[in-house]
Amino acid sequence: MNYVYLNGPVLSGVTAAQLRDAIRQKRTSDPAAPVTLVVNSEGGDVYEGCAVYNMLRAEHVDVIISGMAASIASLIAMAGSHVAMYANSLLFIHHAWSCGAGNAAELQEQVDQLRDADRILLGAYMAKARRSEEEIAALLDGPNGDGSALSADSAFGLGLVDEVLDPAQAVAACLTRSHSHQYTTAAAQAAAPTINQEATTMDSTDITTPAAECGGTKQTAEKVVEVEKEVEKKEEVDPAETRISELERKVEELTAKLNAAQDKLAAQAKFRAVTASAAETQEQFHTTWPEAVKKYGFAKAAEKFPQLRASHMESEFRKGSIR
């Protein structure tokens, strides 16, 4: 069995491409083995989630919900040819939502986009569960208008998942350092109203496998062994690659500092030029020709203040001083 992991948020322009590449790489290395996507995600960008959903449908991938499939990640889970869910995991679905600002027309456009997104969600859940639009809409509403947090048994009863797995059968993705360990079934139920589709960070290799907690049974012994081997491979880090990554990061930091310094110098130079120009303009307005000659001498004053000299000569000519 080949496993690909979605741990963390669904990021716009990133997640679909990463998962597609990972799935195809697995199939290239082991064409005979089926591919399963292990999901533990709080959701994220709606349209990126739709891209992942469509890609998974085309690739004919199975799905296991190992900790949490919330928000748009729940839609992604519906794409599996076979969807399994651990008994201690969570499926959280709700209407699409966002926040914004603008005038009435702009806000109405956002409302229309949210309604379009709701239709997408309804269609995917209805296709999987084969239930009516009214039933799925009621689940999106939830008891308080903020969605429904579904246990594995509830999701199975609704037809949203095809199989409920015993936690003792847990594959390597059953816990992650940043997400799954924070949610028991009860805690997730209490936290559900605050779950949204905002993106933070994503690390598809952020996996731990406590043997005592993931365990194994006769029915899944092979699966657990295979996944643990996959995790061991993921956790092996080449020291040279680590050093290269550190150097690349430092180069990026120094480049950013250099660019900032150059921008600052350019701004200072521009300020000096503007200041000098303003001072010169002010001097031309407030200096008389005799004062300029006295300060700079006749030749330099004539070069520096040609208009002032011409005005002075015209004035003197009119007064009769110059014939």
The DSSP string of 56-101 is: HHHHT-EEEEEEEEETHHHHHHTT-SSEEEETT-EEEE--------
- Which amino acid is located at 120 in the chain? I
CA atoms of 125 and 46, how far apart (whole Å): 14
Reported confidence tier of residue 79, pLDDT bands at 50, 70, 90: very high
pLDDT at residue 199, as a whole number: 34
pLDDT at residue 187, as a whole number: 35
pLDDT at residue 96, as a whole number: 85
Q: Which residues pair with 69 in a beta bridge?
A: 41, 91
Q: Report, as an integer, the average pLDDT of 197-221.
A: 37
pLDDT at residue 195, as a whole number: 31
Reported confidence tier of residue 228, pLDDT bands at 50, 70, 90: low
DSSP 10: B
Any alpha helices (H) in the chain, and if so which ranges? 15-29, 46-59, 72-77, 104-129, 133-141, 152-158, 185-191, 211-214, 221-235, 239-286, 289-296, 298-304, 306-319
What is the CA angle 226-6-34, rounded to 5? 45
CA atoms of 272 and 227, how far apart (whole Å): 65
pLDDT at residue 6, as a whole number: 94
Reported confidence tier of residue 308, pLDDT bands at 50, 70, 90: confident
Burial 278-309 (b: 16+ CB within 10 A, else e): eeeeeeeeebebeebbeeeeeeebbebbeebb
- Maximum average pLDDT range among 4-8, 243-247, 284-288: 4-8
Radius of gyration of the chain (CA): 34
CA atoms of 182 and 42, how far apart (whole Å): 12
Mean pLDDT check: name the lowest of 79-83, 113-117, 178-182, 305-309. 178-182
Question: By the 8 A CB rule, do 202 and 173 touch?
Answer: no
Q: Report, as an integer, the average pLDDT of 230-250.
A: 70
Q: pLDDT: is 113 or 230 the higher one?
A: 113
Q: pLDDT: is 58 or 322 the higher one?
A: 58
Taking CB atoms within 8 Å and a gap of at least 24, the contacts of 232-241 are 234/205, 234/207, 235/205
Q: pLDDT: is 230 or 305 the higher one?
A: 305
Question: By the 8 A CB rule, do 1 and 136 touch?
Answer: no
Q: Report, as an integer, the average pLDDT of 169-181.
A: 42
Sign of the torsion formed by the C-alpha atoms of 310, 314, 317 and 321: negative
Q: pLDDT: is 312 or 104 the higher one?
A: 104
pTM above 0.75, yes or no: no
Q: Which residue has the tokens 């914004």?
A: 100
